[in-house]
Amino acid sequence: MTDAAKLSKVEHIKIESRQLRGSLGSEIMSDVDHFCSDSEQLLKPHGMYQQDDRDERKAKNADGTAKGKQYMMMVRTRIPGGRASAAQFLAHLDLCEQYGNDTLRITTRQGFQLHGVIKDNLKAAVQGINRTLLTTKGACGDNNRNVMCCPAPIKNNTVFDEMQVAADQLAEHFTAKSTAYHEIFLTDESGTTQNAAEWQPVEEPIYGKTYLPRKFKMGICLPEDNCIDIYTQDLGFLAVVENNQIVGYNVLVGGGMGVTPSAAKTFPAVAKKLAYIQPDQVVGVAEAIVKVQRDFGNREDRKRARMKYLIHDWGIEAFKAKVEEYYGQSLPAPHAADVTGVDDHIGWHEQGDGKLFLGINIETGRIKDEGELRIKTGLRTLLKKYGMPTRLTALQSVILCDIDPKDKADINQLLAEHGIKQDHELTLVRRYSIACPAFPTCGLSITESERALPGVIDQLEVELSKLGLLAEKIAVHMTGCPNGCARPYTPDIGFVGKTLGKYTIFLGGNAEGTRLGFIYQDLVPQEELVKTLSPVLLQYKAERKPGESFGDFCARLGKEALKAE
């Protein structure tokens, strides 16, 4: 437990916020174009970040004076397992045009993001999302965020349904009880109930007064398909299946990507196996784990507030003992089951009930029309015509579900008309690449990410083609800073923005996301990323063992051996 006098500033803001209200209610009604810095923190648990257009920071008025920051909001929709109806998807496409920057982003956690929403439009945008029966509540901030789940829409197979049910239960169970979100964002435009006198506290049985010390991430998947990167989650449930039934879950704890390079006390971590539990124990065990983090996580130093540090400092056995104490019974040792594979779900597939599903790759998750590639119009056309349900994937792409086989030819035609490429037209390295947004919206970005990665993949494709390696599944994740929102420390290749225009290259992870990579080279200019990797790819081509992946090869040789050649 933390000494109250030493609590971080954000902890004080939360304590004094009257269950996440602060002055948001009055500020949102004011004409000022931005929120104050305390309110910036309180926007997050409601699913929003205040940002400014970083491309415009140096912009000048006609008279030569500085324009100042052009404030705008990012609004994130929380969608457990990425399951969205056609109507919900279409509504988000409309909202990005009405209130955002004309583009919709699929996040690396199976959610949607609107970017470029000015403060005056914030309430209308949030209300538009809620009208679709989705919410932004809890999508950011110091609470449980979107619960990820394998999105494969397999029917007549209880395994996939049960995983999604568990994801929905976890999402519901860990939603804050505070009514602040409703009062601030969902009341009519004439005003809110925000003055302190009218404020009525509600019990927060899990989060208490100060919510969690830091963000908290959960995910559920199968051993053969770690498409949600379970080892990077604070809490993961790996389904153990026998005779087509989930017989239990391996519980993984303490994954987390963010680091501060200047602070040696911080590090990325893959989750550790904690226990094996029965399916009906999922919510109870999750609650015990979250409460241990709530009560013992670091609230003095936000750089060390994620649960991975608590587990590191205590050791997994002591952490488990405390979880068992909170849960009220001991937990069996983990099952032998572990991650063995990964699938991006792109392309046409049978879904088990006579219908088909189609995974469509959305490069870097950005749904927009640009040149000949008109993804936004193409998806809108398909969703309006067929009304099929969708799933968002953790690789920032979309699955269209419940397709009648007789419609396949027409859908293929529509995709081609809109310049949307299918699985066989895309390389694996592009399909397994993801990027965080970084510039121009993220206030923490140091380098480009979303805007840079497609060009880097273009170069990588040329290199791989020369070496005859295009058929290899090589996962590439890029982020604009070490915070690691696109999980850059576990794929085959990670590019992490380090300083202006320069990246740290990580190698030795894998597409299955089961281990951390190592720093291969630091401070590599963007235009030299692929050039720097060329000798390693050449070496891989010449020396790999049969069937060995690029990441496995790099991990086997290690940095020194790779550098030596």
- The residue assigned the tokens 């205040």 is 50
Q: Where are the alpha helices (DSSP H) in 363-469?
A: 375-386, 408-417, 428-431, 453-467
For residue 150, indicate whether it is catalytic. Answer: no
**At closest approach, how far in Å is the CB of 54 from ligand SF4?**
10
Rounded Cα distance between 287 and 272, Å, is 18
For residue 485, indicate whether it is catalytic. Answer: yes
Residue 102 · residue 80 · CB < 8 Å? no
Interacting positions 477-536 with ligand SF4 (CB under 6 A): 479-481, 483-485
* Cβ-based nearer residue to ligand SF4, 337 or 485: 485
For residue 442, indicate whether it is catalytic. Answer: yes
Rounded Cα distance between 279 and 38, Å, is 41
* Cβ-based nearer residue to ligand SF4, 449 or 504: 449
For residue 299, indicate whether it is catalytic. Answer: no
- Quick one: three-class SS letters along 448-477? CCCCCHHHHHHHHHHHHHHHCCCCCCCCEE
b or e along 405-420 (b: 16 or more beta carbons within 10 Å of the residue's beta carbon)?
Answer: eebeeebeebbeebeb
**At closest approach, how far in Å is the CB of 451 from ligand SF4?**
12
CA 237 to chain CA centroid, Å, is 17
Query: Containing H/E element for 374?
Result: strand 373-374
**Which of these, 273, 280, 281, lies nearest to 329 by C-alpha position?**
281
- Which one of 298, 445, 504, 510 is in contact with ligand SF4 (CB under 6 A)? 445
Using DSSP's 3-state secondary structure scheme, residue 97 falls into helix
Give the range of 261-269, 362-370, 475-483, 517-525 binding ligand SF4 by CB under 6 A: 475-483
**At closest approach, how far in Å is the CB of 52 from ligand SF4?**
13
Q: Which of 123, 436, 473, 487 is catalytic?
A: 436
Q: Which of 83, 109, 145, 214 is catalytic?
A: 145
**At closest approach, how far in Å is the CB of 405 from ligand SF4?**
40
For residue 145, indicate whether it is catalytic. Answer: yes
Interacting positions 404-443 with ligand SF4 (CB under 6 A): 436-438, 442
* Cβ-based nearer residue to ligand SF4, 40 or 324: 40
Q: Which of 150, 221, 485, 554 is catalytic?
A: 485
**At closest approach, how far in Å is the CB of 449 from ligand SF4?**
6
- Which one of 51, 146, 449, 510 is in contact with ligand SF4 (CB under 6 A)? 449
Binding residue count for ligand SF4, defined by CB under 6 A:
13
Interacting positions 276-335 with ligand SF4 (CB under 6 A): none
List of long-range contacts for 259-262, beta carbons under 8 Å, 24+ apart: 259/482, 259/483, 259/484, 260/303, 260/482, 261/482, 261/498, 261/504
The dihedral through the CA atoms of 184, 443, 520, 458 has a sign that is: positive
Q: Which class for 113: exposed (0-12), middle (13-18), buried (19 or more C-beta within 10 A)?
A: buried
* Cβ-based nearer residue to ligand SF4, 382 or 438: 438
Rounded Cα distance between 492 and 489, Å, is 9
For residue 302, indicate whether it is catalytic. Answer: no
* Cβ-based nearer residue to ligand SF4, 13 or 436: 436
**At closest approach, how far in Å is the CB of 365 from ligand SF4?**
12
Non-local (6+) Cβ contacts of 58 within 8 A are: 66
Q: Which of 96, 149, 401, 481 is catalytic?
A: 481
Catalytic residues: 76, 145, 215, 217, 436, 442, 481, 485
* Site for ligand SF4, rule CB under 6 A: 436-438, 442, 444-445, 449, 479-481, 483-485
